[in-house]
Chains A and B, each alone.
Chain A
Amino acid sequence: MPQLVPFYFVNEITFTFVIITLMVYILSKYILPRFVRLFLSRTFISKLSDISKK
Chain B
Amino acid sequence: MAARNAALKVDWAKITTSLGLRGQTAASLQAFKKRNDDARRKLQQLSELPTTVDFAAYRSTLKNQAIVNEIEKRFTSFKPATYDVNRQLKAIEAFEVEAIKNAEATKTKVDLELKDLEKTLTNIETARPFDELTVDEVAAAEPSIDEKTSKLVSKGRWSVPGYKERFGDLSVL
How many Å lie between the Cα of A32 and that of B150 in the bound state? 11
Chain B, interface SS category: helix
Q: Is B146's CB within 8 Å of the partner chain A?
A: yes
Residues from chain A with a CB closer than 8 A to the CB of B133 are: 45
In the complex, are the beta carbons of A43 and B146 less than 8 A apart?
Answer: no
Q: Is A54's CB within 8 Å of the partner chain B?
A: no
Interface size of A in residues (CB-CB distance below 8 Å): 17
Question: Known: A37-B146, A37-B149, A40-B149. Contact between A45 and B130, CB under 8 A?
Answer: yes
Residues from chain B with a CB closer than 8 A to the CB of A33 are: 149-150, 153
How many Å lie between the Cα of A39 and that of B169 in the bound state? 12
In the complex, are the beta carbons of A37 and B158 less than 8 A apart?
Answer: no
Residues from chain B with a CB closer than 8 A to the CB of A32 are: 153, 158
Question: Known: A40-B148, A45-B130, A45-B133. Contact between A35 and B158, CB under 8 A?
Answer: yes
Residues from chain B with a CB closer than 8 A to the CB of A39 are: 159-160, 163
In the complex, are the beta carbons of A37 and B139 less than 8 A apart?
Answer: yes
Q: Is A36's CB within 8 Å of the partner chain B?
A: yes
In the complex, are the beta carbons of B142 and A44 less than 8 A apart?
Answer: yes
Question: Known: A32-B153, A48-B130, A49-B130. Contact between A40 and B160, CB under 8 A?
Answer: yes
In-complex Cβ contact of B153 among A36, A46, A49 (8 A): A36
In-complex Cβ contact of A41 among B138, B152, B153 (8 A): B138
A48 and chain B: residue at smallest CB distance? B130
Interface string of B134-150 (1 = CB under 8 A from A): 01001100100110111
Interface residues of chain A, those whose CB is within 8 Å of chain B, are 28, 32-33, 35-46, 48-49
Interface residues of chain B, those whose CB is within 8 Å of chain A, are 130, 133, 135, 138-139, 142, 145-146, 148-150, 152-153, 156, 158-160, 162-163, 166-167
